[in-house]
Copies of this chain bind each other. A is one copy, B any other.
């Protein structure tokens, strides 16, 4: 077992990380420093402070920070510039939050002279990988304690027993086994486990926490306009909003229109398939809007190149390689494309649907004159198409001649 003096723990204030806190103290005999972030998960942070104090953490070792703006502007928005979807569908809501938490922990470790970091992710999931790859990339010699891989607590009962024997307060509703586990931040909520484990069975309605059902959404569509500057959303219906405020607003709009639910079986980086239910109300709107503004401001060459590298980029984020040179290289490519991605997108929100119904931009590449059926003054001669086709066909004709020669 590593010799640890001071460990920075990603601490939510919940039962699990409170048990971890105590376990770290008793097992490693080390000082614990807690970091609790407001990522928009929708929970009060002060209870976490109180609980940390109760568990003996020194006040100057309790770090609580509202990182919502940083989360959206430096992580969520760069990712959305890429239209990133993992396995064609998943908006990466959990994946994108982990590097930020890890970075904060490392920064605190440097500040307080910590020699280790710890997290509450389990040994079968992706999050342990995301946390730890980030830790190592930022601080290669840091010690990492992953309690779920180390201790011998093997069930909920044992966890509760440990808590009780160490005077850790347990909220009444946390005594029983939760029917599924949840992760939440400003971008999304995910649910998995237990009642969701059979992929053949529809997810029960009570799993959803962040959105109302499409069936319960208003009978009339809502229309909104999202403004973009250089690839990032900056306003809703003309009102300029900070990144986190904007996403919060979109979340509200998505929620009330039943938008952003996803029931998915995905492939984890650690090698197995798992089934999750995701709710990404604002992000689902944002993705559609971003593709909408790109559709008139991005050149075909740029757009197709982005589409081709996107699955790779999404996979890197999913697997935890945010702080890797290849993610940064892809980001440079993506960001380079966004310089003119500026303008407005009008969207219709209706019972789970988000549809782009209008787009406009001072930098639009859409040229009505070019498209119009009648030939005009513009530089498009129908006869050019003949040459274009004939040279594109030349190699196919050569192939066709060979095929016929052989066939005959």
Contact = CB atoms under 8 A, between A and B. Distances in A.
Given A203-B357, A324-B301, A380-B124, A271 B392 contact: yes
A154 interface: yes
A401 B306 CA distance: 23
A92 B363 CA distance: 27
Interface in A377-394: 379-394
Contacts of A328: 336
A337 to B, nearest CB: 5
Given A138-B400, A388-B387, A267 B300 contact: yes
Given A353-B352, A379-B397, A393-B136, A340 B402 contact: yes
A1 interface: no
Interface residues of A, number: 130
A216 B326 CA distance: 43
A299 B399 contact: yes
Contact of A382 (B124, B198, B326, B353): B124
Interface stretch (A7-15, A81-89, A182-190): A81-89
Interface in A317-360: 321, 323-326, 328-330, 332-337, 340, 346, 348, 350-353, 355-360
A335 B329 CA distance: 8
A61 interface: no
A222 interface: no
Given A128-B385, A149-B382, A397-B136, A371 B272 contact: yes
Contacts of A301: 321, 324-326, 395
Given A272-B370, A295-B266, A332-B332, A261 B355 contact: yes
Given A200-B358, A273-B296, A387-B388, 20 more contacts: A87-B303, A89-B291, A124-B385, A129-B388, A132-B389, A133-B396, A149-B383, A199-B364, A200-B360, A214-B351, A215-B221, A263-B357, A270-B391, A271-B393, A275-B366, A325-B337, A330-B333, A340-B406, A351-B353, A363-B402
